[in-house]
Structure 1
Amino acid sequence: MPEYKPPFTLTNTILKLIAEISEAIGRLSVQLECEQNLRLRRVNRMRTIQGSLAIEGNTLSEEQITAILDGKRVVAPPKEVKEALNAISVYEQLDTWQPSSEQALLAAHKTLMTGLVEEVGSYRTGGVGVMSGDKVVHMAPQANRVAKLVSDLLEWLAHTDSHPLIASCVFHYEFEFIHPFADGNGRMGRLWQTLILSRWHPVFSHLPVESLVYQHQDEYYQAIRQSTAQTDSSPFIGFMLQMILDVLIEVQAEAVTTQKTTQKTTQKQKAILAYLQSNPGAGRREIAEALGNITEDGVKYNLKKLQEFNLLKRVGSARSGHWEVQA
């Protein structure tokens, strides 16, 4: 058993949050298994990437991240596009990494930061601090201590009997405290918490916790400062668990809405979607002739309904554009 044990206290608030999160996961996992919620899982992955990058100052919108996910060109600063491409790649490899593996940790950092900084896939060689805006909120340990500190933390993670919700939060905080890399520590800490949690329950692979953390950045850094001041990561654990619970509730509501919307679609609308999946450039007349049981006016009406349901999107003009099926 590892000698190192990160200091944290299990408060009543933390235990209550764990119970509420476990209950919420049970409800959400059933909903996300539905085929019609595949799109919602994809949207949540995009929100995860956008949120994590935004915390670090990236200005790409959700729409731009979605376009990059689809392999489209985006007019934006090259560095920000590269950050997005790297993040997409790293989240696509999430299932291939072992949370307690140092080799996996370094490989993930290399994927995440290649083309952005010089030191990729290796620990920092100089001093760094945790920044909140223009302010240094934490000076990290000396570079010559990093390898041992990370090794101890990964060893603890491999053997701890703490609940994965607790272990993931503790790891996240301790990782940020160590700040093992020259850059990319925030993104890596959030990625690794997602990885740890996804090993416990697959719903976390598509849960956009980072999106909510971005909306509560001040509290995020405050929780880090408070935990450091107390030499106890409980404030950070409590903050992250609340973010996880809030996101679960939010995504559950979205899943219900998506399911109800999809259930409203008629057989003709499903046939239109299926046809446009293979023939995105088709017009109303072509669709009507292909389906055979609907008029052009009927096609027009159903196309409008499908757009209202966010199941279909028109790209470009009415004359020269095409359809994108969103479901």
Structure 2
Amino acid sequence: MTVLTDSSKELRLRRINRVRTIRGSLAIEGNNLSEEQITAILDGKRVIAPPREIQEVRNAIAAYDRFDDWSVESEADLKDAHGVLMAGLIDEVGMYRRSGVGVIAGERVIHMAPPADRVPALMQDLFSWLGATEDHPLIVSSVFHYEFEFIHPFADGNGRMGRLWQTLILKGWNPLVADIPVESLVFEHQEEYYDALQQSTNNADSAPFIEFMLRMVLNAVSSATPQVDPYVTPQVKALIEAISGEMSRDELQTALSLKDRKSFRELYLKPALEEGLVEMTIPDKPNSRNQKYRLTEKGQLAVYI
């Protein structure tokens, strides 16, 4: 009975987060439908609202339902996803743009995209990099998102496509990320989102945008799992930055240049374990002489912030 109850709670949480994600991504693009209205559409109920906004929600629901069909390294799948996400909204679905476009926030021009004739080659280069890079998926997803927005390959829908593909890349790292409402936090920090894009473009350096997106991912993980505090002490921060793969207690103390075992345990190891940033390799035998420690997914997130 407990297993069934826990499963029901998990499905309900995933559903709530999916609605929040869809609302956040579409709200950035000017869609005014509420979470209640999106939930009603998800349930197949009638909603009184502008037809275009209803279509946007239906498309987003269909796109997230297709996640398992698409490969992040496939340019053809990216175009297919655009076709699903923008069906009935524009004529040029699933194909790269044939004219100039820009990123505009209100009356402010954030970025003028490269000429349309350069898009195919730029996108091919981006996917070649995506298939070859060995960087951490947290970094890779953010870099891809920024470069995608810089190229702005489609006539419309680039913002929601960039966020969708970043989520898909992160899903390959950890399937749970697909159900964490990162996009709702991006919407809440919309000005920072555009500022990070503009700053990265002005500096010819994607670092500001990467830092912003990583902060949104960490905050989303924390809000979805509120028992984990993202604000760690300097000691815990030093510990998680020192961990590489699986390490024993002695190896960790050596890496941190610490000799006092009690101090290491109380100030470094114990808080990191309690915060869910570090886990034991043999959790059922905490005092085993073969015990080692490694970062959890949340710990890996915290390292990059």
TM-score after normalising by structure 2:
0.72
- Of 216, 220, 225, the residue aligned with 2:193 is 220
Matches within 5 A, 1:105-116: 105-116=78-89
- The answer to whether the aligner puts 1:117 opposite 2:90 as a matched pair is yes
2: CA distance, partners of 1:236 / 1:73: 39
**Counterpart AA for 1:50:** R
Structure 1 residue 140, shift from structure 2 partner: 0.1
Within 5 Å, which residues of 2 pair with 1:119-268?
Answer: 119-253=92-226
**Secondary structure of 1:83's aligned partner:** helix
CA distance in 2, matches of 1:254, 1:152: 41
Determine the C-alpha separation between the residues in 2 that align with 1:206 and 1:239.
20
Aligned pairs (5 A) from 1:283-294 = none
Alpha-carbon offset, residue 229 of structure 1: 1.1
Structure 2 unmatched runs, 5+? 1-5, 229-305
**1:66 equivalent in alignment to 2:39:** yes
Instruction: Name the residue aligned to 2:257.
Output: none
Shift of 1:153: 0.3
* 2:109 aligned counterpart, secondary structure: strand
- Summarize the Cα distance change of 1:254–1:64 in structure 2 as closer, same or farther, 3 Å threshold: farther
For residues 271-282 of structure 1, the aligned pairs below 5 Å read none
Q: CA deviation at 1:56?
A: 0.1
CA RMSD of aligned residues (A): 1.3
Give a deviation string over 1:68-94, Cα, whole Å, max 9, x none: 011111000000000000010001101
1:227-283 alpha-carbon deviations (Å, 9 max, x no partner): 11111100000000001111111110289xxxxxxxxxxxxxxxxxxxxxxxxxxxx
- More contact order relative to length (CA 8 Å, sep ≥ 6): 1
Task: Name the aligned partner's letter for residue 91 of structure 1.
Answer: Y
Paired residue secondary structure (2:226): helix
Identity across matched positions, percent: 61
**Which stretches of structure 1, 4 residues or longer, exceed 2 Å deviation after superposition?**
33-36
Residues 24-69 of structure 1: per-residue CA shift (max 9 Å, x gap): xxxxxxxxx8542210011101111110000000000000000001
Q: Which has the larger radius of gyration?
A: 1
Shift of 1:186: 0.1
Three-state SS of the structure 2 residue aligned to 1:137 is strand
For 2:11, the equivalent position in structure 1 comes to: 38
Distance 1:178 1:206, change over 3 A: same
| Number of residue equivalences | 223
Task: Measure the CA separation in 2 of the matches of 1:133 and 1:152.
Answer: 31
In structure 1, what is the Cα distance between the partners aligned to 2:217 and 2:182?
6
Instruction: Quote the Cα distance in structure 1 between the aligned partners of 2:130 and 2:182.
Output: 21
Deviations, residues 274-327 of structure 1 (Å, cap 9, x unaligned): xxxxxxxxxxxxxxxxxxxxxxxxxxxxxxxxxxxxxxxxxxxxxxxxxxxxxx
